[in-house]
Amino acid sequence: MTAEARSGVSPRRRPPSAPMGGARYYLVLFLVLVGMLLLAGRIVTLHVIDRSFLQGQGDARTLRTESLTAHRGMISDRNGEPLAISTPVVTLWANPQEVPEDRIQRLMLAQALNMSPDDLDARLERFSEREFMYLRRQLTPEAAQRVLGLRMAGVYAQHEYKRYYPAGEVTAQLLGVTNVDDLGQEGVELAYQPYLAGTPGQRRVIKDRRGRLVRDLAILREAQPGGELVLSIDQRLQYMAYRELKAAVAEHEADGGVVVMMDARTGEVLAMANQPSYNPNNRAGLDPRGLRNQAIVDVFEPGSVMKPLAMAAIMESGQFDLDVVVDTSPGWMMLDRFTIRDIRNYGRLDLAGILEKSSNIGMSRLVLELDEPLVPELYRRLGFGQSTETGFPGEAVGHMPAPVRWSRSQWAALSYGYGLSVSALQLASAYTALANDGVRMPPSLLRLPEAPAGTPTIDPVIAHNLLRIMEESVQPGTGGRRAAVPGYRVAGKTGTVRKTSASGYEQNAYRSLFAGVAPVSDPRIVTIVMIDHPRAGDYFGGAVAAPVFSRVTGGALRLLDVPPDQRIR
C-alpha cells in the first residue's frame, strides 16, 4: 500500500493528455471550415454559375410581358366628320379557382355584373378546372369599376377598345363592323383591316402569384395606332340620301333599295345608301339582309337606263345621224322566237324620241342595223362585267355574255338593258362618261387628292348631244318629269325591269330605276336610284325612283353650293 493510501488521501487525477484534446479541436475546426467552404461554394454557384437559370426561374414566376392594345384608326368622311371611332372599354375576367365561395360575396359580384347568382355559379362551375374565364366583355369604365370596387379575389380587368359608329344605320353597309376582338368583319373595316388595326405594343410588369400587378417595369414596344381613313362620302349627303331612300321604300312597300351619288368630275362616291339597314352599335335582332351593301355586291338587269349608253354606241357607228327616223309600228316584233314589245305603238320616232319614249322596238331596230357588236364593246369599255377595283369585300363584277353566244335577239336585248347584269356602282361610273365629256371616271370610296385621269370612252360631241336628249326626257309631260329639280337642268333616264328568279322572270315583280346627271350646263353629280320590288301600286321608274332622284340630287346641289343653271318657271 502506498503512503497516500495509508494516509487516507485520494490520489489526484491526471488531466487529459494534450495530444488527445488538440485532435478534437482541430476536427471541429476542420468541419466548420469545410461547412463554410461548402456554403461559400454554394453561394458562388447560385450567384455566378446558376445565376441566369435561377433568375429566369424567378422571373418566370413574377415577370410578365403584357400586350398593349393598339388604338384602331378613325374613319371619317371627306370633311373630317367621324364615321367610326374607337372608345376605351374594360373586359372583366376571372380565375375561377381564386373566386371566393362565400355566398354573400358571390351575390355581390353577380349584382355588380348584372347577372343572376345562379348563372354566375354555373359559369364558375363550368370553368372550375381552368384559370381563365370571361365575366363581361367590353363594359364601360364606369360599369367595370362597380365590379372592381368590390376588390374580390380572382377578378381582374383587361383594357380594350370598342368600335362606335356615330351615324348608326345610315352608313352601316359601307363601313361594315368589327367583332368583339376589334377585327374588321364587313365593309371598309374589313377591306382596310391591316391599315386600321395598327400594331400592338408590349410592356414588362411584375405580378404576384395571384396575377395582380405589383409594378410596371418598362415599355418594351410602344403600341402603334392604326392609320386614319378618309372616305369620299359626304356625311350630309349620306344622311339625306338614306332618309329619302328609307321613306320611298316604306311608301311603296318595297323590299329595299339603293342610292349611289358620285362626283362626275372625280369618280368619288359622295353617298351610298342601302335599305334595309341595321344599327351597327346594337346588333340584337339583326336582319341579315341589312348586312349587304347592295350598291356594290348585288347585281341586276338594268333595263332602260342602259339605253343612253347603247345610243352612244349607235351614234358612234356613223351609220345614223340625229335626224334619222325609225318606224316602231306596230309596237312589237318577233326576233329569234322572242317577242319584243313597247308599252304602246309609238309609230315613227327620231333618236331623241326613242329615248324619251323608251322604245325597245326603236333601240332593237337601230342595233340590228349595225355591222359590228358596237354596243357590247362599248359596255365593256364602260366597265361592265369587270371589277370596279374599289377593294370592297364581295364586290360583284356583273355579267356580260360571251361574244360566241350573241344572237340577234341578244344584241337587241343588250340595247334596252336585258341580258346583262350590273351593280349600281358600275352604272354610276358608266354615267360619268356622259357627264364628263366622254371620259369615264373609276369609282373611289376614298377621298382623292386630285382627280384621276379617267378613261376616254365616248366621243365628247356625242356625250353632249346625249345629255341634251336626256334633258328632254325630264321635261313636263314625259315619263321622267318627276326627276326635275327646280332651278337646275337635269338629264336622266327612267328604267323599269322585271325581276328574275331561278325559274325565270317573275310575274308582277319589278325594279324601278332612275339614272341622271345634274346640272347639265356643268355636270357635278351622277345619281343612281333603284327601288326593289315596290308593291304599293306604281312600279314604273318614273313614278317610284325619279322622285327620290329629284329630292336627293336637289338637296345635294344646294348643300354643295352649286349655282342654279335654269330659270325657275
Q: Which of 304, 423, 512, 550 is catalytic?
A: 304
- Measure the CA angle with vertex 432, ends 426 and 435; round to 5°: 155
What is the three-class DSSP state of 210? coil
- Measure CA 85 to chain center: 13
Please, are residues 135 and 126 in contact by the beta-carbon 8 Å criterion? Answer: no
Can 304 be counted among the known catalytic residues?
A: yes
Please, are residues 418 and 500 in contact by the beta-carbon 8 Å criterion? Answer: no
Characterize the bridge pairing of strands 75-76 and 82-94. Answer: antiparallel
| Secondary structure element (H or E) that encloses residue 440, with its range | strand 439-440
Could you tell me where the DSSP H helices lie in 72-116? 103-112
Please, are residues 240 and 271 in contact by the beta-carbon 8 Å criterion? Answer: yes
Please, are residues 377 and 383 in contact by the beta-carbon 8 Å criterion? Answer: no
d(CA 318, CA 7): 166
Question: What are 88's strand-pairing partners?
Answer: 161
Please, are residues 518 and 525 in contact by the beta-carbon 8 Å criterion? Answer: yes
Q: Which residues, including other chains, have CB under 8 Å from residue 406's CB and lie 6 or more apart? A: 373, 376
d(CA 92, CA 114): 13
> What are the angstrom distances between the C-alpha of 381 and each of 384, 426, 454, 508?
7, 12, 12, 34
Q: 74-91 burial, b for 16+ CB within 10 Å, e for fewer?
A: bbbbbeeeebbbbeebbb
Locate cell 345621224: which residue? Answer: 321
Active site positions, annotated: 304
